[in-house]
Amino acid sequence: MPGILNRFLKYVRINTQASEHSSTYPSTPGQLDLSRLLAAECRELGLSDVSADSFGIVMATVPATVSHRAPIIAWLAHVDTSPETSGANVKPIVHENYDGRDLVLPGDPSKIIRVSENPALRDLIGATIVTTDGTTLLGADDKAGIAAIMTAAEHLVAHPELPHGPIRICFTCDEEIGHGVDKVDLEKLGAVCAYTLDGDGQGMVDCETFSADLAIVTVTGINIHPSIAKGKMVNAIRILSQFLSRLPMDTLSPETTDERDGFLHPYHMEGSVAKATVRIILRDFETPKLREYTALLESIAADLRKAHPRAAIDIQFVEQYRNMRDGLDKEPRALPKALAATRAAGLEPRQTIIRGGTDGSRLTALGLPTPNLSTGEHNPHSPLEWTSVEEMQKAADVLVALAVEWGKENE
């Protein structure tokens, strides 16, 4: 476990926060820094076919140890962190021999990881917990996944007596802003199925995700000095505020929904009198429901156009990803193998849904079935983010068992 912890601490100190407002790929230079580091580490481990392209996509192969033609599988994780909370100057705090109490974060004592809100901590007394100092996110989403993959790869290389087929490793960029697999060459990856390491806790196998779209609502007003504004000014901020006030909060917001409920979530707003914009994510497990949410936003805009005829109210809709459920049937071994590997690692698997998306959502839609596995991350995108070394190590153990499980198969 010291190895996986040291890896993780090294990775989270590199600022890889993605940016939705960048025109480059990857969207931030720190992602390239981590990608180059990971490619160098893959070479040091003795992996083959190591590459890191100009887009920050890293690929490498753990060579097979079986003589028959076992199928190629892939393990993926993303190097970027969420744009919602700062990823600069991350100061990870290691809490050894966790005592079961609330964790007060020293950089901002108002930030407290409470056991009552994080019941998973009750099962981790005596474990090693890693948190932020309260001023940034931690980056366990998805650097816990990266650490698990690198640790599993190192173990397989060190133990050639373990029978397994070829394993393709792939690290992607800009997953947090919906572009994680834009530059992934699936032919080069060459796998029959893949597994993203991007889930919380331990023992979970995510086989469904949200379907997701993005709505960008832009109100264009008319600015003029407020001293002579009567009958002339059209305040885009006020009109956009009216738009947001008409979103159903009791039934369609993340604050009031759970399980299979969908939602509309405004998460970023900026603007002035002349122009104001909000980004709203649309989420539901049933893809057709997204059309209903789109219609709702359009109807709100239509009403406000009538009320404010001199304003322009535009909505741009962007497809992001789709529920992986419908694409997993293409490789019927993918899910059973994940469940078997989880049991082989000493855990009782839980077949779960994820109220979010992973690179696996898009990969599955593109024809590469890709369930999502646990990594030990908790409270992602938040200064209250945390992980445990033991859960990260279990994620690595599952990967080793997964390699052995697929090594039993013939193409």
- Nearest Cα residue to 394 out of 206, 199, 209, 207: 199
Q: Is 41 a catalytic residue?
A: no
Query: Looking at the chain, how many residues does it have?
Result: 411
Amino acid (one-letter) located at 395: A
Structural contact between residues 211 and 290, judged by C-beta atoms closer than 8 angstroms: yes
Q: Where are the alpha helices (DSSP H) in 122-234?
A: 140-158, 186-189
Tokens standing for residue 190? 């060459």
> How many other CB atoms are there within 10 angstroms of residue 39's CB atom?
21
Residue of 41, 154, 174, 175 with catalytic role: 175
The whole-angstrom separation of Cα 250 and Cα 256 is 6
Amino acid (one-letter) located at 356: G
Residue of 80, 174, 377, 391 with catalytic role: 80
> How many other CB atoms are there within 10 angstroms of residue 208's CB atom?
20
The whole-angstrom separation of Cα 112 and Cα 129 is 14
The whole-angstrom separation of Cα 377 and Cα 380 is 7
Q: Is 175 a catalytic residue?
A: yes
Burial level of 10, CB count in 10 A (0-12/13-18/19+)? middle
The whole-angstrom separation of Cα 179 and Cα 95 is 34
Q: What is the dihedral of CA 44, 48, 54, 56, to 10 degrees?
A: -70
- Nearest Cα residue to 271 out of 307, 239, 317: 239
Catalytic residues: 80, 175
